[in-house]
Amino acid sequence: MATLAINARRCSLCGECIATCPFNAISEVDGKIEIDAGCRMCKLCLKNCPEKAITLIDDKRVAVDKEAWRGILVFVEHLDGEIHPVTLELIGKARELADSTNQPVYCLFMGDQIAEQAKSLLQYPVEKVFVYEDSALRYFRVDVYANIFEDCIRAVQPSTVLVGATSVGRSLAPRVAARFRTGLTADCTTLEIRENTDLVQIRPAFGGNVMAQIVTPFSRPQFATVRYKVMSPAEKGGSPSGTVERCVVSPVRLKSKIRVREVVLNEQSPGILEAETLVVAGRGVKDKQDLELLQELADLLDGQLAATRPLVEAGWVHYSKQIGLSGRTVKPKLIITCGVSGAVQFSAGISGSECIVAINQDRSAPILDQAHYGVVGDLYEVVPSLIDRIKG
Amino acid sequence: MRITGSKARGVILRIVVCIKQVPATSKVQIDEVTGVLRREGIESKLNPYDLYALETAVWIKDKVGGAVTTLTMGPLQAEEAIKESFILGADQGYLVSDRKLAGSDVLATAYTLSQAIRLLDGYDLIICGKQTTDGDTAQVGPEVAEFLEIPHVTWVKKVNEVTEDSIVVEQDLGTSSAILELPYPALITVEKDIFQPRLPSYRRKKLTAAQQVNVLTFSDFLDSDEQKYGLNGSPTQVERVFPPDANEDKVLWEDEPSLLGEKIYMLIKDRNFI
Ligand SMILES: Cc1cc2nc3c(=O)[nH]c(=O)nc-3n(C[C@H](O)[C@H](O)[C@H](O)COP(=O)(O)OP(=O)(O)OC[C@H]3O[C@@H](n4cnc5c(N)ncnc54)[C@H](O)[C@@H]3O)c2cc1C
Ligand SMILES: Nc1ncnc2c1ncn2[C@@H]1O[C@H](COP(=O)(O)O)[C@@H](O)[C@H]1O
């Protein structure tokens, strides 16, 4: 077990480690430095100790044989056969990562009566689509899906497994990753790969205040869930030699403890995820009624109205329209924010947008920095003038 | 909502709620030199999402009878989180605290929690929050379920039925919802707003003030393989943290409102957005 040890003979009790520990896990007890359970192993104390009295005692970790694991496996998410678009984004990314490390791209597709859809995936640059077909796989049930996932991984031995960071993916992936006792990085927004096939995963952390770069250097396969609408979807064509491989489903693997009573489609107002143009209302909007002004602008631009969290919390706008870390990530062509300050938790959700226009009257608002076009002005004046202009 | 098995009939559900103490502020800064997070102060609070998990447990207990046990892994100060859970209706609580657990990622955390749960006097239902505000992975719950080899359902937005041997819940899958029945033992992670968390009452605060928090350490665990805990049991490694991108090629317009409207109009017209 890795642990930090303090060499009492070297230690001068200068207190530098106590002061630097971001977690307040170090204290002086009876003339000795002690590290308690608050330690997160950030090793900052070790770097800062002027006496070099702190050392890391690290047992050798046995890394897996990385050569034995090859290929990038993409989980095909679908609802009753209809493939979720995040799947194509995963294939697109997988192809890129695979090409630079000379690996194949595989898809895992489990469901009921999905032969046609499986074949359709061959339009994209994938080497193989592994198909597990059974009526018991029609709807997502985490235990059965995890079993099949496990079977596939054991058979294919992929180096990397990519799953969409959707509701289904974020329930399934941790289950499978834990089964292989391997690492899973949640909700990645950037993926790169090293020559030795180590995946470099970047994700927002601490509520989007910082980005964290995470690797899984000792185990395989390495799992990542990837945010929807962040990567570009795969282009058609490219690998006409791809094949569909039907795999055996063994009945014991299909025994579920979970009984699906009913699956219903949620009521869908036209989604902000698909919209090419978005108008976002922030707290600069003073009154619920004033949303009509922004709705009018959205309508004129053939777009959708979205909002920041405070407006959703006030009950003015439905949660499905919330953009940001705890809302949706959007990737429209054009996004016009009105009275939005640009808190990191919000901007985490719009950074993939092609053109960001921000209207804010406060010159120092962070959003004016994040936008491609910062417009310093009162939304109650700028928006009506824009509407007038569009109407001609 | 159908409830079968009343307190009178003696259904006693053993419910475990996993809770975590998180920094009270989301304002973290990065030390430019070392790349390490600096937290302003060390104020902590209960992960807000875990309040919903706890409320769900207490609600079920009130309906069918049961006992609610809270569990957390963290430094000794995390005892506060368990004490807070007493005020909010938990009957007993455990803190897992040991330096050997330092540096745990999701996998090691989940394994540690599963080991702690195995030490309890049986359990029927485990409830986790949807996610934490610091780790923010929403992965710990499902991984705990995997280690305990029990079924799990994430994103539960509604409890439809609680019976002696199973629970029926509604899962939010974004575009669809599933109504699922799962037998005990099982684990669920609950959405915000499933139940409105109660406010701490002064009466319960006084009532529970003297209640003890049970502390578990590494030496209590059945599995004493050190490679499965702490930093060594953590397959993922944070290589660096850095601030989100700054925007380099931005344009700032300051002008009369009508001219600003005109400028935006020309922009969206030029770029064929209309
Ligand atoms: C863990 C966590 C997750 C979060 N997730 C999200 C999330 O998903 N989405 C989200 O949006 N927030 C989220 N937040 C909240 C976020 O931190 C901000 O509080 C929020 O985004 C602020 O919303 P706002 O910009 O509308 O309001 P404010 O910050 O109040 O900004 C209002 C802006 O409007 C400007 N303004 C006022 N009047 C006018 C006018 N007449 N004309 C032009 N401009 C005007 C002001 O100058 C100001 O800049 C989260 C916070 C946390 C801690
Ligand atoms: N250290 C911990 N101790 C107890 N429960 C935890 C801990 N970390 C996470 N959890 C539980 O797992 C849920 C998801 O956490 P996370 O995966 O960090 O987003 C939380 O809401 C808690 O219920």
User: Would you state the pLDDT for residue B2?
Assistant: 53
Q: CA–CA separation, A2 vs A55, rounded Å?
A: 10
Q: Closest Cα of chain A to B114: distance in Å?
A: 12
Ligand 2 atom nearest the C-alpha of B127 is 23
Do B265 and A38 make contact, defined as CB atoms within 8 angstroms? no
pLDDT digits (tens, 9 = 90+) for A207-258: 666 788 999 999 999 999 999 888 989 998 766 789 999 999 999 999 999 9
Residue A56 above 60 pLDDT? yes
Closest ligand (CA of A369): 1
Measured in angstroms, how far is the CA atom of residue B70 from the centroid of ligand 1?
A: 34
User: Would you state the pLDDT for residue A40?
Assistant: 81
DSSP state of B44: E
Question: Residues of chain B whose pLDDT is less than 50?
Answer: 3, 5-8
DSSP state of B226: G
Would you state the structure tokens that stand for residue B226, as one six-digit string?
């050190």
Closest CB to A179: pick one of B146, B231, B265.
B146
Q: Is the CB of A345 under 6 A from ligand 1?
A: yes
Q: CA–CA separation, B181 vs B179, rounded Å?
A: 7
pLDDT grade for A143, boundaries at 50, 70 and 90? very high
CA distances from A321 to A167, A251, B19, B88, B194 (A): 17, 42, 29, 32, 19
Q: Average the pLDDT over A268-281 and give the result.
A: 84
pLDDT grade for A312, boundaries at 50, 70 and 90? very high
Q: Is the CB of B19 under 6 A from ligand 2?
A: yes
Closest ligand (CA of A171): 2
Ligand 2 atom nearest the C-alpha of B132 is 19
Q: Is the CB of B112 under 6 A from ligand 2?
A: no
Measured in angstroms, how far is the CA atom of residue B139 from the centroid of ligand 2?
A: 8
Question: Which comes out higher in pLDDT, residue B32 or A372?
Answer: A372
Q: CA–CA separation, B259 vs B265, rounded Å?
A: 10
Q: Is the CB of B93 under 6 A from ligand 2?
A: no
Element (H, E) at B258: helix B257-270
pLDDT grade for A268, boundaries at 50, 70 and 90? low
Span B13-228 CATH architecture: 3-Layer(aba) Sandwich (3.40)
Q: Average the pLDDT over A362-386 and give the result.
A: 94
User: Which of A187, A278, A280, A283 is the best mutation target for the ligand 1 pocket, counting ligand atoms within 8 Å of the beta carbon and taking the most?
Assistant: A283
Element (H, E) at B24: none
Domains of chain A by start residue, with CATH? 2-58 (3.30.70.20), 66-254 (3.40.50.620), 277-391 (3.40.50.1220)
Helix or strand or coil: residue B151?
coil
pLDDT digits (tens, 9 = 90+) for A2-23: 788 899 899 999 999 998 887 7
Closest CB to A382: pick one of B227, B257, B267.
B257
Q: Closest Cα of chain A to B6: distance in Å?
A: 24
Residue of B nearest to A221 (CA): B235
ipTM over 0.90: no
Domain extents in chain B:
13-228
Q: Are A89 and A231 spatial neighbours (Cβ–Cβ below 8 Å)?
A: yes
Q: Whose CA is nearest to atom 14 of ligand 2?
A: B131
Q: Average the pLDDT over A284-290 and give the result.
A: 96
pLDDT digits (tens, 9 = 90+) for A97-135: 999 999 999 999 999 999 999 999 999 999 999 999 999
Q: Is the CB of A327 under 6 A from ligand 1?
A: yes
